[in-house]
A and B are shown apart, each in its own frame.
Chain A
């Protein structure tokens, strides 16, 4: 790496940069970037990816979101300094998801590598500040190019994706969060990534927003009056708030279908016993496998936003 100025802050992701496998260190790293981005006068800083030997898609998407945020606020492009020293797989995954396009960096052909047939394929990520059904449709096309027709999963996937995007745009960013000029440059933004594993006919779809989180937004939501007793009786931790909001949506058919979106997202996991949905929001984690009962946990390091991740089996058609 070129010599850095002495006042340069170096932020390094962990060797295993993954929300599933190394949550605390990975989120701590992401939070450090957010902290620097949020400062009135940002220091010169370097995000050094040389040390990372494994990157998970959720972590990759969060990294994209943080750097996207920094670039929009600072109206500058970041550039990778030591691309040739990055782990081959880390560079390949980031390349295929569009990371370098975000930075405006041209990756030399000599540094572009292909994965083997076992490797998951990271598809180009999407981002927007509105609900745009064409984007899940394009994602579906990308997935089907790798796996063939999704069959019934095509429609089953669309509704939960639209609801997740809707929650980000409509609920995750209350007006007070969008008051500052910095926030206005980013807007009520969401990021979405798909990963295909043709060999196993599995897909992973992830949606992330940097908003006020599910536990953070519940007390000011229209649901709160209906669910606060349930939440308080459970202990009123972040994990309780997420679990209660999902539970409420499952039993809800009434007024304007409010709160149903989360239940619809979780319902997608129930289509196959090997499906997963994971929801990370602030310090809460909610996990369902197939039809099994949910597991919810607290996390010491809070995620600055909400991340929803589905792992789905694609039926043979």
Chain B
């Protein structure tokens, strides 16, 4: 049996979504965490692996990141373990590393809360 390396779909937020991410909810303004969560759902539905690149934006508010990634866990569409294998959130530049750390925390906290 042949095993195929599945190339991850690389999604750069700054280029494909917005370089000015907004707040938490769609109803409060454009490029919200909720809107980006929908993008993540779409990407994960169509691709085996997804790599989200955080670099290049003006920055992120914690509400955006929490709603996008913590909200993805709360959707319960995929088990957290599966998300851990299929979704990579990366910071190529050191100055974006803190946002990658925040994303990990938000995913973990959402998972803890959902299971608790």
Contacts and interface: CB of A to CB of B under 8 A. Distances in A.
A170 B105 contact: no
Contacts of A140: 58
A152 interface: yes
A132 B22 contact: yes
Contacts of A257: 62-63, 66, 70, 106, 109
Contacts of A162: 21-23, 59-61, 63-64
A137 B61 CA distance: 13
A132 B70 contact: no
B24 A170 contact: yes
Contacts of B25: 170
B29 interface: yes
Interface in A145-173: 152, 154-160, 162-163, 165-166, 169-170
Given A131-B28, A254-B109, A257-B70, A170 B23 contact: yes
Interface string B38-60: 00000000000000000001111
Contact of B32 (A131, A155, A159): A131
B58 A255 contact: no
Contacts, number: 95
A57 interface: no
Given A159-B61, A166-B61, A256 B70 contact: yes
B105 A136 contact: no
A154 B63 contact: no
Interface string B91-106: 0000110000000011
A125 to B, nearest CB: 18
A130 interface: yes
Interface residues of A, number: 30
Contacts of A264: 61-62
B31 interface: yes
Interface string B1-45: 000000000000000001111111100111110000000000000
B85 interface: no
A132 B64 CA distance: 12
A163 B28 CA distance: 12
Nearest to B64: A162
Q: Most chain-A Cβ atoms within 10 A of its Cβ — which of B25, B29, B60, B96?
A: B29
Given A131-B29, A169-B29, A253-B105, A158 B23 contact: no
A165 B25 CA distance: 13
B109 A260 contact: no
Interface string A239-256: 000000000000001111
Q: Most chain-B Cβ atoms within 10 A of its Cβ — which of A156, A257, A261?
A: A257
A136 B22 CA distance: 10
A2 to B, nearest CB: 43
Contact of A256 (B23, B66, B105): B66
Contact of A136 (B20, B30, B63, B66): B20
Given A169-B28, A257-B62, 15 more contacts: A133-B20, A133-B58, A155-B58, A156-B59, A157-B59, A159-B59, A159-B61, A162-B60, A162-B61, A163-B63, A170-B24, A257-B106, A257-B109, A261-B61, A261-B63
The 4 closest A-B pairs by CB, nearest first: A133-B20, A158-B59, A131-B29, A162-B61
23 contacts: A131-B28, A133-B18, A133-B20, A133-B58, A134-B20, A137-B20, A137-B58, A140-B58, A156-B59, A162-B59, A162-B60, A162-B61, A162-B63, A166-B23, A166-B28, A166-B63, A170-B25, A253-B105, A253-B109, A254-B109, A255-B113, A256-B70, A257-B62
